[in-house]
Structure 1
């Protein structure tokens, strides 16, 4: 990465140096933390180019009036040649106006950094484990999995760009009853492949995607297991069926450009004894005890309910509303018990954990967060950071109405079907155009619509317009150049100002674990680009290409090339390709 400070980083460093001077002079007390000081665009662009809350957040520990501290800060900033004015607003906010050269320097920074513009070292090379998708291995990926898959993968790209090392993990739920149901379903398809007429009973998986699995087993084993007792074939068929489903799932995810680094098996986890080890660790730290599970709250217990002693995790110690069993009365692990051990395993090789879950799992967030707090720190006070991001389902629509596609898999719409219809990039970007915990409609007509109301098109079209201008100019023998960038005016500077926000947007989105912020930012940048472009409709002298002025054209193309670079960088973080033409 090119060692060069971007506009916001440079001015944040300037603010910090001013505050450090005030500490040295005794205006601010020694040891004052600047952690809550921010530098951002003012809400109203007419107020200036940058705004800082430094006086507001530091006045109280300094025992000063915020405006009094603001005056001390602005007095020092006034001496900086790159700042043309520093004004105090309201109770103590400071608005800064920058010299035009600041924007031209940022253009040069974008050109110099190229694909690294916006890249950050904020993550400090810390390892973040992101677990996402983790669908039961019982069939192809369907649209119910799509949004979480994209959010998780985009988050991985964002955190890597922000300086983290990321492990992308898929947890294979292959130890529960559903894989036995899968094995029985495959056994029927196996018998069918041998020539038997079969009827798929209710409760088994009817999808035709299991036929090739049955045919493969028939070719390998003949009729050896056709009439054999279930105990003879179930373990084998379960293993083979899960492996086949995971191959299918990997292929489906690949259509979205998603590739996990690690697939962890629940069955292998339990067989390895790691669940037992987690339980013992918790017992050693007095976090699991043998106790009686409380009766269901809010209603009379069922007639057959009776108190049973079970191993209980002290989740109330970490904010849960009751202690939770990690084993059932028959000695089998509860889902919570197995998940607890799985997170214990993940935490051994990561500095922070993030899980992407469907919103239907909201009820288990509190207890698993309590478990991770316990497992990564006996007192929970110094636990490893752990977040659960909930993702709402997606409603498929066409023309504003619920849409039913033909289903090659029997009873659901597959992810591969949707990607085939509209393309990987459309699906990925669309899934990031709303906050993950907000409901989303995926309208097949709207996501391919060529309009401002379609964010995918709007951002891609901005990049395509830029590339078109660069190609046209090249045919005229004009190439981008910074030789005359000082001729760029306020409209161009405003466009650069939006581009300059990209590095801080990356860091803010990474801190919040919210990749959709980058999609929102790209839409705003595209809107500014289109607005600037439209100036040329009525004012030819405002076009990127002014045929009678090659120097100004080269400068504007330099600007256009920089905006295109920022769009490409943002889209790359989200796993979306920037198109050359539309």
Structure 2
């Protein structure tokens, strides 16, 4: 058990003791009791809000309850002192021995340090990317892909079982457009001089699809009516696009467990089954929508259609699930798809582009209806990335064929740079991806800064050997000074950072933490530039050097663990 949960358990034991003595009531709800670093490190090493959050239920003033807790805290071996701050917070100072023990725990745990069991084995379905299968991946898809994949890894580290899922939108108008675009390239492959009509996909990525169709079918469908080839060409083109998308995602180290087909959801009768079930509960009905607000269009007239009673679950209006002509709306298909996902998972998470913000309420309403509110459902909106080249935004349009593909970006700057950069902002914040800045070797580039810290750490043992430093067989952490032990204190926050990031579904917190840890390590390293005795390698003091290398190895392990969650390799040396 790492330091923070260990002290949370200690406080729990103290509260049990006070309850047994009749000093406080038994059975108090302790779910909001926390143990965390104080905002100001000069106030101590740990802080707890136990007295603040329990005082009302205990029928006591916070400071009075805190005065019962503090003496028992100070009696603990690892506690050097505890004091009440403000209205009833308790600040705790730990002994050096406590931090030395945590440093040993980091080294002993190795790759397991930071893993948690808070997920208790629950299954979470994380759906991400789900780009329309109409072309290669571009940078508009990249951020959601990285955020979703890092979140899935983060949840696994926190003890969840994760299903990584991609929803293939292979039903509807956009894949018919794809099929028609492939037909143009098919005719081109057979020697026809073609011009891609307005409204079709003009990208050259469809040329190999046309060539494959020509090789398979010859000129059989050149002049054939659309009804004879549309479904066939759609199936072949979607399959080819999904192969391309899988290959693009693989460049980022992203692999999904499940590729769910929208067309199959329909074919399996899941949409009808879901709607029939909701109709039986009075949540689907035949009706007309309210007219649009503001000035009515000249051609507007009320049309009866099948509606889902989304307003019963907090949406602004009821939503069509089936059109007047009998076809399902996209929302109708999506509703059934989420019912399918809920069958195999305890919780659902969708990673969507910010352009889907308008559909959040309706699908949240649908999941509440389908699961009776029993299965948590979270939607994370990811803002688009503005790609810059030579200071100018690069336009990305699948219809015009003028876009920069994800593969081109990965080839230019590398997988690790792309993945780390995508996590240097909150997912819902705008992001610029500047080709020059993301590869810049400076502290202003968080990718470089964290990687450089790890490379420095990995160089230390090699440099010790080159300097002829005979290291002790076993390091002695008690030789570390206060500044060096401050690094241990920051390192010890990694497990709770993982848990907090998993709980809030925010993988960018790992990147932020690693940047802070790297900055602290570099600052400690740089002290040796002014004072040779502060260096990690001190030729005439192998014992102290051994302790410092032990510390550095622990920091390096945490950097590797954090980068592993992000799907980023930890470099051994910098060019």
TM-score range, shorter chain: over 0.9
Matching of residue 141 in structure 1 with residue 141 in structure 2: no
Select 1:205's aligned residue among 201, 217, 227: 201
In the aligned structure 1, how far is the partner of 2:88 from the partner of 2:382? Answer: 39
Q: Is the 8 A contact 2:471 2:543 kept in 1?
A: no
Determine the structure 2 residue equivalent to 1:445. Answer: 436
Deviation per residue, 1:394-435 (Å, 9 max, x gap): 111245443469999932111011111100000000000000
Q: Is the 8 A contact 1:484 1:555 kept in 2?
A: yes
Matching of residue 327 in structure 1 with residue 318 in structure 2: no
- 5 Å-filtered alignment, 1:369-408, equals 369-377=364-372, 380=373, 383-398=374-389, 400-403=391-394
In the aligned structure 1, how far is the partner of 2:144 from the partner of 2:492? Answer: 30
Change (3 A) 1:123 1:261: same
In the aligned structure 2, how far is the partner of 1:175 from the partner of 1:22? Answer: 63
In the aligned structure 1, how far is the partner of 2:153 from the partner of 2:518? Answer: 21
Matching of residue 429 in structure 1 with residue 424 in structure 2: no
How far apart are residue 303 of structure 1 and its match?
2.3
In the aligned structure 2, how far is the partner of 1:238 from the partner of 1:146? Answer: 25
- 5 Å-filtered alignment, 1:284-323, equals 284-297=280-293, 299-323=294-318
Determine the structure 2 residue equivalent to 1:466. Answer: 457
How far apart are residue 480 of structure 1 and its match?
7.6
Q: Is the 8 A contact 1:407 1:414 kept in 2?
A: no
Secondary structure at 2:80's aligned position in 1? Answer: strand
Deviation per residue, 1:515-561 (Å, 9 max, x gap): 00000000000000001001100111111111111111111111100
In the aligned structure 2, how far is the partner of 1:13 from the partner of 1:401? Answer: 55
Q: Is the 8 A contact 2:459 2:573 kept in 1?
A: yes
How far apart are residue 457 of structure 1 and its match?
0.4
How far apart are residue 53 of structure 1 and its match?
0.7
How far apart are residue 15 of structure 1 and its match?
1.2
Determine the structure 2 residue equivalent to 1:503. Answer: 495
In the aligned structure 1, how far is the partner of 2:525 from the partner of 2:161? Answer: 39
Determine the structure 2 residue equivalent to 1:223. Answer: 219
Determine the structure 2 residue equivalent to 1:256. Answer: 252
Change (3 A) 1:58 1:407: closer
Determine the structure 2 residue equivalent to 1:524. Answer: 516
Q: Is the 8 A contact 1:133 1:149 kept in 2?
A: yes
Matching of residue 132 in structure 1 with residue 128 in structure 2: yes
In the aligned structure 2, how far is the partner of 1:275 from the partner of 1:252? Answer: 31
Q: Is the 8 A contact 1:288 1:311 kept in 2?
A: yes
Select 2:155's aligned residue among 147, 152, 159: 159
- 5 Å-filtered alignment, 1:163-174, equals 163-174=159-170
Gaps of 5+ in 1: none
Paired positions, count: 573
Q: Is the 8 A contact 2:201 2:401 kept in 1?
A: no
Secondary structure at 2:194's aligned position in 1? Answer: coil
Secondary structure at 2:27's aligned position in 1? Answer: coil
Deviation per residue, 1:103-160 (Å, 9 max, x gap): 1111111111100000001100000000000000000000000100000000000000
TM-score by length of 2: 0.98
Select 2:565's aligned residue among 573, 577, 580: 573
TM-score by length of 1: 0.96
Q: Is the 8 A contact 2:126 2:165 kept in 1?
A: yes
Determine the structure 2 residue equivalent to 1:492. Answer: 484
Q: Is the 8 A contact 1:481 1:555 kept in 2?
A: no
In the aligned structure 2, how far is the partner of 1:473 from the partner of 1:188? Answer: 65
In the aligned structure 2, how far is the partner of 1:190 from the partner of 1:481? Answer: 70
RMSD value, Cα = 1.5
Determine the structure 1 residue equivalent to 2:406. Answer: 415
